[in-house]
């Protein structure tokens, strides 16, 4: 157990050299490498964090955009639906108006046709009835019937209005009497006598036959005439038929 002080000093120097060598070749490089690595890892982590933040921001942006788009789409859908609804209503209204117009026209046309038909029916019916009546009267009528008619005519003259009687009194021209059949002389004489007795003695009476009268008598004095025949009855019939049809037409209209 000896201490060689020369060796001790040499070892001290050796150790100090070793400290320097290891510091130069071991600690310093290793520490630097580790620090650099830590720095790089920290940088990478920072970058990753920044990127993550960026990504999340972008995601948020996209989400906002998507929501905006969805909102717009909904709005557009609602708008389109409203427009479609409005258009539909408009079209329906138009269609209804057209239908109403068409119906109105059709109804008018139908009413017109009906009226035409009734008019024609009335006319034809009247014509037919007249024709039948005329034919019947024509078949039945004869001089005897006419004589009765003339009797009746005379009765009428008796009760005729004053105005006509005055006209006949002051009549200067010839008095013309139309009949459907030719009157025989006795009847003529009777008529002439009646005229002379009632109105004026110097009255001139002329007789003539007019088949259109059917059965009856017509007295013509100047611009005035007085008559009595079956035509009047027939005209009366026609008027009544008109009235009857008129009363039927409204009820027929109500059925539409």
Partner 1 sequence: MTISPDGLIFQQWGWFSLNATIVYTWLVMALLTLISWLVTRRMSTGTELPAWQNLLEVLVTGIRDQIRQVSQQNPGRYLPFVGSLFLYIAMANLLNIVPGYMAPTGSLSTTTALAICVFIAVPIYGIAYQGPVNYLKHYVKPTWLMLPFNIIGEISRTIALAVRLYGNIMSGTVIVAILISLTPYFFPVVMALLGLLTGMIQAYIFAVLAMVYIASATSLHSGESDDEQQSSLTDTPEKDNRTSPNTD
User: Of residues 3, 140, 159, 201, which one binds partner 1 by CB under 8 A?
Assistant: 3
Of residues 42 and 115, the one with the C-beta less far from partner 1: 42
For partner 1, the closer of residues 1 and 140 by Cβ is 1
One DSSP character per residue, 160-203 reads: --HHHHHHHHT--S-EEEEESSPPPHHHHHHHHHHHHHHT-TT-
Q: Is 222 exposed, middle or buried (0-12, 13-18, 19+ CB in 10 A)?
A: middle
Site string for partner 1, 183-222 (x = CB under 8 A): ----------------------------------------
Give the C-alpha distances (Å, rounded to integers) separating 16 from 11, 32, 42, 133.
8, 22, 36, 168
CB 47 → partner 1: shortest distance, Å? 15
Q: How far is the CB of 68 from partner 1 (least distance, A)?
A: 43
Tokens standing for residue 147: 């004589």
- In the complex, the smallest distance separating the C-beta of residue 55 from partner 1, rounded to whole angstroms, is 23
Residue from 8, 78, 110, 132 binding partner 1 (CB under 8 A)? 8
Least spacing, CB of residue 61 vs partner 1, in Å? 33
Q: Which of 29/87 has CB closer to partner 1?
A: 29
Nearest-approach distance from CB 67 to partner 1, in angstroms: 41
Give the whole-angstrom CA distance, residue 127 versus residue 6: 174
Q: Contact at 8 Å (CB) between 190 and 200?
A: no
- Contact assessment for residue 227 and residue 216, using Cβ atoms and an 8 Å cutoff: yes
Match 């006598």 to its residue by tokens. Answer: 193
Q: Which stretch binds partner 1 (CB under 8 A): 3-11, 121-129, 231-239, 241-249?
A: 3-11
Q: Using the minimum distance from each CB to partner 1, give the nearer residue, 19 or 100.
A: 19
User: Binding residue for partner 1 (CB under 8 A) from 2, 185, 251, 254?
Assistant: 2
Residue 37, beta-bridge partner list: none
C-alpha 18/C-alpha 117 separation (Å) is 142
What is the per-residue binding string for partner 1 in 12-51, x denoting contact by CB under 8 A? x-xxxxxx-xxx-xxx-xxxxxx-xx--xx----------
Structure tokens at 100: 């109403």
Among 9, 56, 86, 246, binds partner 1 (CB under 8 A): 9
Q: Which residues make Cβ contacts (< 8 Å) with residue 227, sequence separation at least 6?
A: 178, 213, 216, 217, 218, 219
Residues of this chain that interact with partner 1 (CB under 8 A) are: 1-12, 14-19, 21-23, 25-27, 29-34, 36-37, 40-41
């Amino acid at each position: 157990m000896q201490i060689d002080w020369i060796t001790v000093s040499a070892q001290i120097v050796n150790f100090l050299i070793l400290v320097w060598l290891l510091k130069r070749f071991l600690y310093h490089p290793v520490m630097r490498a580790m620090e650099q690595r830590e720095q790089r890892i920290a940088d990478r982590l920072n970058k990753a964090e920044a990127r993550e933040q960026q990504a999340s921001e972008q995601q948020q942006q996209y989400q906002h955009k998507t929501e905006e788009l969805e909102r717009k789409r909904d709005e557009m859908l609602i708008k389109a639906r409203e427009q479609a609804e409005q258009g539909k209503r408009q079209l329906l209204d138009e269609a209804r108006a057209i239908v109403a117009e068409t119906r109105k026209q059709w109804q008018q046309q139908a009413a017109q046709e009906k009226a035409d038909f009734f008019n024609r029916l009335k006319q034809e019916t009247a014509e037919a009835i007249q024709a039948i009546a005329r034919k019947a009267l024509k078949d039945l009528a004869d001089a005897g019937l006419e004589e009765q008619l003339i009797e009746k005519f005379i009765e009428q003259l008796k009760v005729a209005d004053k105005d006509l009687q005055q006209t006949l009194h002051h009549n200067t021209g010839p008095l013309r009497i139309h009949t459907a059949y030719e009157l025989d002389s006795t009847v003529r004489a009777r008529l002439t006598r009646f005229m002379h007795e009632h109105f004026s003695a110097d009255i001139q009476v002329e007789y003539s036959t007019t088949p259109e009268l059917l059965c009856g008598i017509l007295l013509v004095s100047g611009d005035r005439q007085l008559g009595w025949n079956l035509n009047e009855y027939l005209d009366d019939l026609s008027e009544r038929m008109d009235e009857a049809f008129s009363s039927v037409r409204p009820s027929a209209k109500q059925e539409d």
